[in-house]
Amino acid sequence: MDDATNGSNYQKLLHEIELLKYENRVLHTKIEKLTTYNGSQTLLTDKQLLFDLLVCLVEEAPFGVLIKKVNVKSIVYFNKAVADLFQLNGTRLLGPYWNNFFSHEWLHKIEELDRECIQNNCNKSDTIHITTKEGESRTVLTIRHHPKQLDTEDEQHIITFFVDITKNEHIKQEITSALEADRRKSEFLANMSHEIRSPLNAIVGFSQLMEDAEDAEERHTYSEIIRQNNDQLLLLINDIIDFAKIESNKLSFTFESVNIHALCKEAYVTFSLRNKEGVSLHYEEGPSVYVHSDSKRLMQVLSNFLTNAVKFTDTGSITISYIVQNDEVTVSVTDTGTGISAEHCNNIFSRFARVNESRPGAGLGLSISKKLIEKLGGKIGVRSELNKGSVFWFSLPLSK
């Protein structure tokens, strides 16, 4: 190959390098020797050009490259991508500075992977989670390579490649969340068809029976069944409407001074009329205290608590109470019902969550209650033990 051909090849290589782009950023090598070609150059000079080019490519690579001496825990080199990933502000911290890169919780694992890579002479990969100096959490894929040709009797090297996969992980989580939401909504729609159909069928069926019944007591019984199913259907429809409003952030509130004693007393009187036989309802009165809130929404939450307590308590008692502590009032509904396992307690306020599939309900009441209390500036929770009962509560700051 003559000098003209060699010169043409170098010019072509230069042109390709200057046009090489990554994320719309031109990668300039700044290797002036590539702009000309002298036929007297030796093979050694050509190797030097190649070395300079490779160094430039590694420095500007879109993934992190870090070279370290394992036995002395010393960093030999890291490129710009590593500096950006760990937010080192462009400083070149070489030598024994491992803590600049890895938290203490990861140091042991990283050293273990390095040893495996050297002992087995194989590449090792792992996913680590780091927190940058600015407090950002990132998920990083690391790949280790042991270049034996760099080793000496006293020194062993590891090349680690870092790929920031945080966005990928977020996308995976979003896809998983979307699929889970879609699955639960499908279950919800299927459940809604059953929940709506059941009281409707009862209303239609017993209305026909009541029309044909001649005995007054029999008509009264049918009328009571129709009323109960009507209440159940109305509650379900209201829950669906509130759920839709919360999802679209269109739920409105009317703030006023609310007397907690009066609120609990009203709930007690209302539910005393519909309490089950064999279950006693109690109200532990406290002092008159006030909160700046929405009385209608607070009654909705308290009614949800009581409805669930009645539903899951077959014998024993249900108690409404409230206490004042640390400028807060906590309203509780305590029952001696079936209770909730620790596993279900963690998800009880989730959308469409149902503890017992055999009991009626759409799994929206507690989810709506949680959203309401949080929007009113309060907290909500549950304490429960399986087969022993539950305590559902919400707390709000007292009026100043």
Residue 30 confidence (pLDDT): 41
Residue 25 confidence (pLDDT): 39
Q: pLDDT category, 291, cuts 50, 70, 90? A: very high
Q: What whole-number percentage of the chain has pLDDT above 70?
A: 78
Q: What is the pLDDT of residues 75-84, one digit of tens each?
A: 888 888 888 8
In order of start, what are the domains of the chain with their CATH numbers?
3-59 (no CATH), 64-164 (3.30.450.20), 173-247 (1.10.287.130), 256-397 (3.30.565.10)
Beta bridge partners of 394: 331, 380
**Alpha carbons 182 and 352: distance in angstroms, whole number:** 12
Q: What whole-number percentage of the chain has pLDDT above 90?
A: 24
> Does residue 312 carry a pLDDT above 80?
yes
Q: What is the pLDDT of residues 322-379, one digit of tens each?
A: 999 989 999 999 999 989 888 788 888 876 666 555 555 556 889 899 999 999 999 9
**Alpha carbons 160 and 125: distance in angstroms, whole number:** 9
- Inter-axis angle of helices 216-247 and 166-212, nearest 10: 160
Q: What is the pLDDT of residues 208-223, one digit of tens each?
A: 898 888 888 888 899 9
- The pTM of this model reads 0.53
Q: Per residue, what are the HEC states of the chain?
A: CCHHHHHHHHHHHHHHHHHCEECCEECCCCCHHHHCCCCCCCHHHHHHHHHHHHHHHHHCCCCEEEEEECCCCEEEEECHHHHHHCCCCCCCCCECCHHHCCCHHHHHHHHHHHHHHHHHCCCEEEEEEEECCCCCEEEEEEEEECCHHHCCCCCCEEEEEEEECHHHHHHHHHHHHHHHHHHHHHHHHHHHHHHHHHHHHHHHHHHHHHHHCCCHHHHHHHHHHHHHHHHHHHHHHHHHHHHHHHHCCCCCCCCEEEEHHHHHHHHHHHHHCCCCCCEEEEEECCCCCEEEECHHHHHHHHHHHHHHHHHHCCCEEEEEEEEEECCEEEEEEEECCCCCCHHHHCCCCCCCCCCCCCCCCCCCHHHHHHHHHHHCCCEEEEEEECCCEEEEEEEEECCC
Q: From 99, 43, 39, 105, select the one nearest 73 (Cα to Cα).
A: 99
Residue with the larger pLDDT of the pair 125 and 103: 125
- Inter-axis angle of helices 365-375 and 216-247, nearest 10: 50
Residue 35 confidence (pLDDT): 42
Q: What is the pLDDT of residues 44-100, one digit of tens each?
A: 456 677 777 777 788 888 888 888 887 777 788 888 888 888 777 655 555 555 555
Q: What is the pLDDT of residues 132-170, one digit of tens each?
A: 777 778 888 888 787 776 666 777 888 888 888 888 888
Q: From 380, 364, 256, 353, select the one nearest 307 (Cα to Cα).
A: 364
Burial class (CB in 10 A: 0-12, 13-18, 19+), 264: buried
